[in-house]
Amino acid sequence: MPASVPIPSSACGGGLGWGLLVLTTALLLSACAIGPDYERPESVTPPADYRGIAAVQTEKSVADTAWAQMFGDPELVAVIQQALTTNLDLLSAVARVEEFRARQHLARSAFGPQLGANISTSPNPQSREDASYSGGLSLTWELDLFGKLRRSNEAARAQLMASEDNARAVMSALVASVATTWFQLRELDAEVQIIRDTIHSQEESLALVRSLMRNGVSSGAEEQQAIGQLATTRAQLPLALQNRAQVENFLQYLLGNPPDEIARSQPPTFIIVPPEIPVGLPAQLLERRPDVRLLENSLRAATAQIGVAEANRFPYLSIGLTSFFGLVSPQLAHLFDGDDPATEVLAIGPEASMPIFQSGGGTANVEAARAVQRQAELAYRGGVLQALREVADSLVATDQVRELIAQNEVRTGAAAETLRLQRMRYRAGVISYIEVLDAERQLFSSQIDLARSKLSQLQSYIDLYRALGGGWSDAELQKLQGK
């Protein structure tokens, strides 16, 4: 609280006159704020189209699709909805928004007056009787010369927006992570079913070998080959069950729950990825992706901090008007009683902050602020490039995995037919059982690869959705904030 010098009430007019002069001067000077105004860097210019896009794109983007409509699995929608209310990372990001909202209110409060109460003494070293005591109220209102307070408020506002974008980015990543983990779980369900079906098929093959062996057609060596193949396949089941349990545990972690099973009543299903996916224009990433917006708002805040640092270098940076109304008494005991009336004092006068010599500290602060702003600009440029790369990677993955699935489907069909024919030939005594074993291995491998290629397609589809900026909703975030 700036010091207030009591003056006789008869001199109030002079103090008020000086105060009005200072106030008028301050208002004229505070019409502008020093420091650079934020402008988006010219170096951040996205290309006209994404790499790998054959057709001309419009502004329509799959990222505009709400996540609940993006995935057609009702059980997955319910799981995502639960994650959006219980995930700890998302709740922490929302709490961080509340923190920066309070900080922004704090920065804005500097524009208003500050009221305080004080009681002070002015002792006389020669005599205790000559000491004086005063008490009253002090009102201070700092005027914003050179825009320091405005730049501080601008920086706080940008930091608040960055925290909001961070919450959106966390939500987008959470939706993508839950969906990916869910489909991993469903793919492992499919693998477990494939392994069990293969075990059942190989048990039938072993029974066939033993039947033929009793008739003298098959040998003991072929029986052992069948037993070994069956054991190999059975050994795959514990590993698949382990992987599935670990994926369930991770999904429960995303839901904010301790490790446990995940309830699912439907058989493993996969959503159908459309052949044509609208991706919009690269320039939309600057506005749609919350992590890119976060980096830009951080750059905006760093730019405003340069103005704060530059304003701190100037003398008469800010002027406060201090008013004092109170009582002055030579004895503290009689300050508020009527036996020895205290002198009433009214004082209004200017107060100025005038840094004279900072040993280069002001210049160093400006240089540091400019360096931070430069780092923020480079981070923003890097974030834009990262976003463009992620979209391009997801596009090529989504496109190429279609051919992978098509070839795996052909391979699986051929392997199934080969196994059927080899078993017929084995029964007829044309081939040895080793060829049947090889056909069984080929079918098992092709079925697993087909299931995994379908999962890869879904993962690339989800990655593309997130890379384009989909998966977040302000309405959902406002629910978490109780609005």
Residues 257, 128 contacting (CB under 8 angstroms): no
What pLDDT sits at residue 351?
60
Return d(Cα 280, Cα 288) in angstroms, integer. Answer: 11
Q: In this predicted model, what pLDDT tens digit does every residue of 218-268 receive, in sequence order?
A: 788 888 999 999 999 999 999 999 999 999 999 999 999 999 999 988 888
What pLDDT sits at residue 331?
54
Which residues does 431 contact at the CB level (< 8 Å), separation at least 6? Answer: 422, 425
Return d(Cα 381, Cα 478) in angstroms, integer. Answer: 30
Rounded average pLDDT over 45-69: 83
Strands of the sheet containing 114-124, edge to edge, are: 114-124, 127-144, 318-329, 343-353
> Please, what is the angle between helix 433-467 and helix 220-254, to 10°?
10
What pLDDT sits at residue 34?
83
Comparison of pLDDT for 361 and 90, the residue scoring more: 90
Which residues does 338 contact at the CB level (< 8 Å), separation at least 6? Answer: none
Q: In this predicted model, what pLDDT tens digit does every residue of 424-458 receive, in sequence order?
A: 998 888 888 899 999 999 999 999 999 999 999 99
Token reading at 377: 């600009």
Comparison of pLDDT for 450 and 59, the residue scoring more: 450
Going from the C-alpha of 478 to that of each of 66, 144, 161, 163, the distances in angstroms are: 16, 34, 14, 14
SS3 (DSSP) at 352: strand
Which residues does 240 contact at the CB level (< 8 Å), separation at least 6? Answer: 188, 191, 192, 195
Return mean pLDDT, the chain. 83
DSSP 270: -
Helices (H) and strands (E) in the chain, counts: 11, 4
Nearest one of 457, 467, 458 to 280, comparing CA atoms: 467
Q: Confidence band (pLDDT; 50, 70, 90) for 217? A: confident
The enclosing H or E element of 120 equals strand 114-124
**CB-based burial of residue 200 (10 Å sphere; 0-12 exposed, 13-18 middle, 19+ buried)?**
exposed
Residues facing residue 98 across a β-bridge? none
What percentage of the chain reaches a pLDDT higher than 70? 78
Token reading at 67: 């996540």
pTM: 0.82
Task: Count other C-beta atoms under 10 Å from residue 150's C-beta.
Answer: 21
Q: In this predicted model, what pLDDT tens digit does every residue of 383-410 receive, in sequence order?
A: 999 999 999 999 999 989 999 999 999 9
Return d(Cα 58, Cα 400) in angstroms, integer. Answer: 23
Buried b or exposed e, range 84-115, using 16+ CB within 10 angstroms: beebebbbebbebbeebbebbeebeebeeeee
Which residues does 216 contact at the CB level (< 8 Å), separation at least 6? Answer: none
